Amino acid sequence: MKQILKILLTVILLVVVAILLLSVLKKDAPIVVVKGNLAQKPLPIKLNKTNDTECAMLIKTTRNAAEVVAPDGRTWFFDDPGCMVKWLESKPFKEQVKIWVHTIDTNRWIDGKKAKYGVKDHTAMHYGFGAREKENNETIDFKQMQLRIYRGETLANPKFRAKLLGK
């Protein structure tokens, strides 16, 4: 009886190790949300392994990427500031979140609510709002950018695109 139990235990342990190894070694599912960022700092994005929560595209570059951090530390990632604004629109905690955007002029993470946004930039989802740290004649602030996205006044809208770019 003892011998049978020993064999059974060995088989069970081997199966347990096999299941754990198979699970750990399998290709990672894309990251959608990261928990525990209570310091509300910008997190490094694992490129090609992180999903934009709004458009579900894999994030391939940090250029124009954005992050939203909820007060409880949950962090979501976006490939375009436009996706971030659209996703955030329906969230009950939208006023309490910390927003980070990766700038195209200084190439670093800054507070998305203080950033300036171009209106004719090339962005992943073609909304056209490239985040900048420095203001210029063509940039708008966060509130204006938000309003334009709610109204559909983005480069993704053919009518508005034609009006803005003349094509």
Partner 1 sequence: MNPLFLNNQVIVYLFSEAALLALTILLFAKIVKFLWFWDFRSYSNRQLKLEKEAYLAMTIATLLFTLKSVLLIFFVHTIDKLSLIIPGAMCAAGVISANSYGMDLLFIKLTVIFTLLLFLIANSYDLQAKTYPLFRFKSWVLIIASGLIFIEFFLDISYFTHIDTSTPVSCCSALFGNLEGANPLPFGLDITKLLLLFYMLYLGTIIALTLETKTITLLTLLLFGVIAYYGVVYFFGTYIYELPTHKCPFCMLQREYYYVGYLLWGSLFFGLFFGVIWVIMSQVGYNITKAKWASMLLLTLFVALCSLYVAIYYSKNGVLL
Binding region for partner 1 (CB under 8 A) out of 41-49, 69-77, 107-115, 142-150: 69-77
- Contacting partner 1 within 28-67 (CB under 8 A): 28-34, 38, 51, 53
What's the angle, vertex CA 6, arms to CA 3 and CA 7, rounded to 5? 90
Among 47, 48, 60, 71, binds partner 1 (CB under 8 A): 71
Size, binding site for partner 1 by CB under 8 A: 33
Of 13, 47, 147, 165, the residue at the interface with partner 1 (CB under 8 A) is 13
Q: Is residue 24 a contact residue for partner 1 (CB under 8 A)? A: yes
Q: How many angstroms separate the CA atoms of 80 and 9, rounded?
A: 52
For residue 47, give both structure tokens.
């490129």
Query: For residue 29, what are the contacts with CB-CB under 8 A and spacing of at least 6?
Result: none
Comparison of 87 and 129: residue with beta carbon closer to partner 1: 87
Minimum CB–partner distance for residue 59 and partner 1 (Å):
14
Structure tokens at 136: 């210029």
**Two structure tokens written together for 77:** 């990632």
